A and B are shown apart, each in its own frame.
Chain A
């Protein structure tokens, strides 16, 4: 009696499980479609002509022409040079991410390893400021930079990255799980100075955490639109998103959709490639950095 009941129960739960599984895959399929379809259109349209009507599912023949037009001097005059923009964005993002990771890690190291009076205070303070939106001080930031003659330069875009509360927090968590204090003690006994301990013993241990945070900071700087918009005026200093916004303002006369799509592809390609190669680590990094303590 009980046996047959169990079998019946098993069967119904198996069919509901199959139904749930089908629903889950259908929904996931739709989401994958929604997430990828715009990028598919972007790639296809980058190979097509100036005026495009309707959805096209196969590439056109204009790719070479579009590349020529995108890097032509006329485009540079109208929207800012694409080469320059890529180079400028690379300089800003690379230096900001390296500075940010190194100095935030050394700050996390300070509160992790040393016992000093303001240690607890510093730690809580940094956690608190993590919540403060950068935009909240935007106007003061802009006025001060203007007074110091730093607008239209890269200093306000690079140097502030040194104080990155989120990176600090991530490093701190990583150290708590994988930086035993005994190693530091041992190095001290061997007569190693404090700076050298950090640079040549601790840094290699932190490599995976560095990698994740460099990627995150690089991506957020590469994609940043608000700050460069606030600070940069001259066209030869434009970053990738600023050139993009210039193209957006273009009137219907000079509008060349093929070229614009191609520029978007170039703007997002570096980040997408890095992401696809390292997605495993990046996704693990998101979860690790977010579980709040």
Chain B
């Protein structure tokens, strides 16, 4: 009997084949290739021979090994890349701070046993709604509304002080992108935080209230410490997502990241360079990978500290 159950092991391998084969071909191999390319001076020059109808496009590839030059370039020398990195970080912060604040507030209210918020299903459905909608459509919608001739042009252009759309100003554009990111993600974060808060033993709140704790006390002294693992999960996934910010700024600024390139994100630069500066674009990708890996590892260690607490939460949520 025992021996027979061992013989099933091969099915474990067989069932995993498609997943791993596809992963290796479409993710791992490209990642290694990107890593390798990032050490190459890999430039494709596009030009054309002849003119008029007979014009032929040519692409000359120059490839040579250049060590860490690409990394030195993107971090130290080339200012546009460093600028796009800061742009990305700034726009992420503009979106994330209101996102986490509003989500914490909503999650606390929804789970407050004394507050008894009604129509929770309706509220949750509405606040999560923007997340299922195409980010590019939301971005396009906001440009159409805010630019000259848009419905909200008159309502917002006073902020620029001139007869300009707020999308013609650096902070107007950044603010709009941050706001859209907030709008897309606060519902998701609220639901995650709610699941975490509902996992906290309600008797903790009851006994704190009997001891005279105010809602503010219970929030800072009970809720926040006990949902720390989920908070760090939200923070890290949002940071990794923020590094990859693309749809919203690309649509909003017609791929150019204007005004003045102050809304250009790192991934937008990668898209722009996919057919020209391959080496540098690869280095940018690898930098994103390394930062995400570090964040992920920090998260894993951070969450491992709270093993027993987490187990309890899982059981309640299920």
Contact = CB atoms under 8 A, between A and B. Distances in A.
Interface residues of B, number: 107
A51 to B, nearest CB: 6
A292 interface: yes
Interface stretch (B73-81, B113-121, B200-208): B113-121
Nearest to A226: B246
A134 B31 CA distance: 9
B270 A291 contact: no
Contacts of B93: none
B318 interface: yes
Interface stretch (A60-68, A75-83, A268-276): A268-276
Interface string B87-122: 000000000000000100110010000110100010
Contacts of B36: 140
A241 B240 contact: no
B154 A110 contact: no
A257 B229 CA distance: 46
B31 to A, nearest CB: 4
A214 to B, nearest CB: 14
Nearest to A265: B137
Nearest to B188: A286
Contact of A110 (B16, B27, B267, B295): B16
B26 A156 contact: yes
B285 interface: yes
Nearest to A42: B141
Contacts of A51: 149
B141 A38 contact: yes
A27 to B, nearest CB: 7
Interface size class of A (residues with CB under 8 A): 35 or more
Contacts of A226: 246-247, 267, 271
Nearest to B273: A139
B166 interface: no
Binding site of B, secondary structure by majority: helix, strand, loop or mixed?
helix
A143 B29 CA distance: 11
B192 A137 contact: no
Contacts of B20: 122, 163
Contact of A143 (B15, B22, B278): B278
Interface in A158-199: 159-160, 162-163, 168, 173, 177, 194, 198
B37 interface: yes
Contacts of B9: 114-117
A27 B317 CA distance: 27
Contacts of A219: 132
A240 B133 CA distance: 12
A225 B246 contact: yes
Contact of B22 (A163, A275, A290): A163
Given A107-B16, A139-B278, A230-B274, A248 B26 contact: no
Contacts of B150: 52, 257
A54 B27 contact: no
Contacts of B292: 131-133, 136
Contact of B136 (A111, A114, A225): A225
| Pairs A-B, 6 closest by C-beta atoms | A114-B12, A140-B34, A140-B33, A131-B296, A140-B30, A136-B289
22 contacts: A32-B126, A35-B129, A39-B129, A39-B133, A41-B152, A52-B149, A54-B154, A103-B18, A128-B296, A131-B296, A133-B244, A133-B288, A134-B27, A140-B31, A163-B27, A222-B134, A264-B141, A267-B134, A268-B133, A279-B125, A279-B128, A287-B195
Interface of A: 17, 20-21, 24-25, 27-28, 31-32, 34-36, 38-39, 41-42, 45, 51-56, 103-104, 106-107, 109-111, 113-119, 122, 126, 128-129, 131-144, 156, 159-160, 162-163, 168, 173, 177, 194, 198, 219, 222-223, 225-226, 229-230, 240-241, 244-245, 247-249, 255, 257, 260-261, 264, 267-268, 271-272, 275-276, 279-280, 282-283, 286-288, 290-293
